[in-house]
Chain A
Amino acid sequence: MLTVFLQFLFSGLTVGAVYALVGIGFNITYNATSIINLAQGEFVVIGGLMMWFFSESLKLPFLVSVAFTIVTAGIVGLFMERLTIKPLKNPDLLLMIMITIAVSIVLRGLLMLSFGKNPYVYPSFTEGEPVSIYGAIIQQQTLWVIGITGFCIIVLFFFFKKTITGKAMLACAVNPTAAQLVGINVSKMVMVSFVLSAIVGAIGGIAITPISLMEYDKGPMLAVKGFCAAIMGGLGSNRGAVLGGFLIGILESMTAGYIHSGLKDAVALIILLLILFFKPAGIFVSKTMLQLRKF
């Protein structure tokens, strides 16, 4: 009983970690631009597939592959922002939504063209005996996924709290005009936010692929779940996104385990709709915050 439960819990935490990273990716761009980048899921796919390309196809060493993958994702984020977001002058919201969808389709098309429709996988980062707790098996890769997610969160925390660029990005979020006035290059910050969110997504993809495989069309579902994680704690809050990500991951894996595996995606969607309908400001958010936000 307990063994099975723990097993589901661990697999929930693993996928949950990736949702958390996607959620954080949403937050990064949202905070700097108030855009919700619906191509966020594709960054994760890029991470997984490019990692496979560098490490399995080109047989590059592990760390080199990781570095190349991150650079590739960063470049994709950069191009996306410079080619499609920046040229739009005073776009309305509808256009913004659709342009990120359009880019996500282009990326998906490119991925399909380069990798085909098959799922890809590569070995875990470290070989070795799985850890066993009360009979439940934790693969070493699971520990990697959770560790890497934790590491990303800490790095981002210091980035936004301690570095000039990080603080400047937050300033743009609060008031772009004022930020411009004190000499912050808002356009550059928007660019950085896209690059950063792409990298965060790709790191998630690199880490999760040995466990859950990766294929070209996983992006939209990842985006929906990551978005769900992000709004759970109120868009913009990374702590909320992490909590939300793990919560969705766990609920999903419990549903798959105890009820029916075909319904695991439905769980996240239903949670998403319930939050949007009843508490669009997030479930861990105070009432005053709620009044200040627009939907």
Chain B
Amino acid sequence: MKKGDSIAFFVLIFLIILLPVLSGSTYTLTVGIFSGINALVAIGLCILMGYAGQVSLGQAGFYGIGAYVSSVLSLHIGLPIVISTIFAMIVAAIAAVILSVPALRLKGHYLAVATLGFGEIIYIILNEWGPGGPSGFGDIPHFSLLGYTVDSTTGYFYLIWGLVAAVMFFSINLIHSRTGRALRAIHESELACNAMGLNVVALKIKVFILSAVYASLAGSLYAHYVTFISPSSFSLFYSILVLMMVIVGGITNLWGAIIGAVVITVLPELLRRFEELDVLVYGLILTLSLMFFKKGLVPILIEKIKKLRGFAVAKH
């Protein structure tokens, strides 16, 4: 891990531990929990899009698979939640392979529309064949591990942000490894990657699987936290929301995914008063950040810090 990453990582852990202590308010923690769930999906999309350069407008599909598969398995078959969550990840991974094998020949717009189509198909399947149809179902068991059931808000906060930290640790290591370099190289020039003997197809499939597994994990956590789910949480709008998180935070930086997830999750809470405005506000934020803050919050912040530091050094 590089120095900047290590510092950021410690700050993250520090905040995770401290927040429930400082602010015991259930409301704050609940918003925090949803931010964490979204962050998991956003980290996956960030690796997929920002690093490997593959567009996806279908992350809601994998998120939905995670939620539904794990809920159904734990509720109806009585599997332990950890097992059902892992099982859901496997299903999501298989779906990712089925989607990516043909889709990864496509680029740009074609890939965007293909993934969008995939997400919508999952959405239709959930509506038609999911338990409860469009109105969804409840009584999903709470998360439990080794006989200990998580049912307090604080418990969920630690569980989910603990997983965010773990996923972040894994992802940062990955990005700074041989594999991460290869992913970035694919983004730059597939032609050159092929000439260097990189197995471009395999790498793309694997990174798709990774993003699907993250989204599935998030979906399962969501379901076992809210204990009631319906297809509307897994529509195209969610895919676009995740896209926004990644872009607002800064698509070229993994930390941007977390910051973006928090911002985009907290924002509607702040905008509660203007209920009807939310779609418009989302759209404007996305448009404006694409036009004027193309790089996103975190990369801009890093530049600022570097400049300040350069200034300080120059002064001495």
Residues of A within 8 A of B (CB): 36, 38, 84, 87-88, 93-95, 97-99, 101-110, 112-113, 220-221, 224, 227, 231, 260, 262-263, 265-266, 269-270, 272-273, 276-278, 280, 294-295
Q: Which residues of B contact A95 (CB under 8 A)?
A: 290, 294
Q: Which residues of B contact A224 (CB under 8 A)?
A: 113, 116-117, 120
* Main DSSP-derived SS at the B contact region: helix
* Main DSSP-derived SS at the A contact region: helix
B117, A277: Cβ atoms under 8 Å? no
A277, B103: Cβ atoms under 8 Å? yes
A106 to B53 CA separation, bound complex (whole angstroms): 25
B107, A103: Cβ atoms under 8 Å? no
- Shortest beta-carbon distance, B287 to chain A, in Å? 4
B185 on the interface (CB 8 Å rule)?
A: no
Mask: chain B, 48-61; 1 = CB below 8 Å from A; 0 = not: 01000101010000
Q: Which residues of A contact B278 (CB under 8 A)?
A: 109
- Shortest beta-carbon distance, A40 to chain B, in Å? 12
B163 on the interface (CB 8 Å rule)?
A: no
* A109-B283, A110-B280, A113-B277 given; A280·B110 CB < 8 A: yes
A104 to B117 CA separation, bound complex (whole angstroms): 17
B124, A94: Cβ atoms under 8 Å? no
Q: Which residues of B contact A108 (CB under 8 A)?
A: 279, 283
A127 to B282 CA separation, bound complex (whole angstroms): 42
- Shortest beta-carbon distance, B125 to chain A, in Å? 8
A88 to B291 CA separation, bound complex (whole angstroms): 7
- Shortest beta-carbon distance, A121 to chain B, in Å? 22
A109, B290: Cβ atoms under 8 Å? no
- Shortest beta-carbon distance, B252 to chain A, in Å? 11
B247, A266: Cβ atoms under 8 Å? no
Q: Which residues of A contact B284 (CB under 8 A)?
A: 106, 109
* A99-B287, A99-B290 given; A262·B124 CB < 8 A: yes
B315 on the interface (CB 8 Å rule)?
A: no
8 A Cβ contacts from B115-132 to A:
116-118, 120-121, 124-125, 127-128
A295, B110: Cβ atoms under 8 Å? yes
Additional 16 contacts, C-beta under 8 A, given A109-B280, A272-B113:
A93-B109, A94-B49, A94-B108, A97-B112, A99-B291, A101-B57, A106-B287, A112-B276, A113-B280, A224-B120, A266-B125, A269-B121, A276-B106, A276-B110, A276-B114, A295-B107
Contact among B118, B124, B286, B291 with A263 in the assembled complex (CB-CB below 8 Å): B124
A19 to B71 CA separation, bound complex (whole angstroms): 37
Q: Which residues of A contact B102 (CB under 8 A)?
A: 273, 276-278
A108 to B117 CA separation, bound complex (whole angstroms): 19
Contact among A102, A263, A276 with B283 in the assembled complex (CB-CB below 8 Å): A102
B276, A101: Cβ atoms under 8 Å? no
Q: Which residues of B contact A84 (CB under 8 A)?
A: 287, 291
B109, A103: Cβ atoms under 8 Å? no
Q: Which residues of B contact A231 (CB under 8 A)?
A: 110
B120, A269: Cβ atoms under 8 Å? yes
A-B contact pairs, 7 of them (CB 8 A): A84-B291, A94-B55, A98-B243, A101-B243, A262-B128, A273-B121, A295-B110
Residue of A nearest to B282 (CB): A105
B316 on the interface (CB 8 Å rule)?
A: no
Q: Which residues of B contact A104 (CB under 8 A)?
A: 283
